[in-house]
C-alpha cells in the first residue's frame, strides 16, 4: 500500500480530493509536517507510531532520518527485516485510518 500510494495518507487523500496542500499535514503529531510516507516511517512523533518504530526498525533508520535511509528501507531483502517493516507499516496504516 505504501509503495503504490493506496495507504490513504493525508498527502494522497489531499491529491485525490483537491484539498489545499497546506492541509495535507499529519493529524497524529504536532509537527505540522506533510503526512507522507517519509514522515510516518521516520519522523512522526505519535506515541504509538514511535513505539512501533523502536520495536521494528533498526537504530540506523531511527537516527538522523534522510532520503537515503528511506530508500534503503524500501530496498530491504532480508526476510526477518521485511516482516518487522510490515508490522510497522500495519501500525501506521491502522493509526492513520482510525477514526478520531
Q: pLDDT tens for residues 62-95?
A: 999 999 999 999 899 999 999 999 999 999 999 9
Kindly give, in sequence order, each residue whose CB lies less than 8 Å from that of residue 24, ignoring residues fewer than 6 positions away.
10, 11, 14, 34, 35, 36
Mean pLDDT lowest for which of 3-7, 18-22, 26-30, 94-98? 3-7
pTM for this one? 0.88
Helix (H) or strand (E) holding 53: helix 47-56
For the cut 70, the answer to whether the pLDDT of residue 2 exceeds it is no
What is the per-residue pLDDT for 14?
Answer: 85
CA distance 49 to 9: 14
What integer pLDDT is reported at residue 75 of this predicted model?
Answer: 93
Amino acid at each position: 500500500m505504501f509503495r503504490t500510494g493506496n495507504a490513504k495518507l493525508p498527502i494522497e487523500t489531499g491529491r485525490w480530493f483537491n484539498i489545499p496542500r497546506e492541509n495535507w499535514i499529519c493529524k497524529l503529531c504536532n509537527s505540522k509536517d506533510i503526512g507522507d510516507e517519509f514522515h510516518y516511517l521516520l519522523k512522526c512523533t505519535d506515541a504509538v507510531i514511535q513505539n512501533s518504530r523502536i520495536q521494528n526498525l533498526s537504530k540506523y533508520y531511527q537516527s538522523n532520518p534522510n532520503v537515503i535511509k528511506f530508500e534503503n528501507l524500501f530496498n530491504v531483502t532480508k526476510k526477518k527485516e521485511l516482516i518487522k517493516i510490515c508490522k510497522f507499516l500495519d501500525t501506521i496504516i491502522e493509526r492513520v485510518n482510525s477514526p478520531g
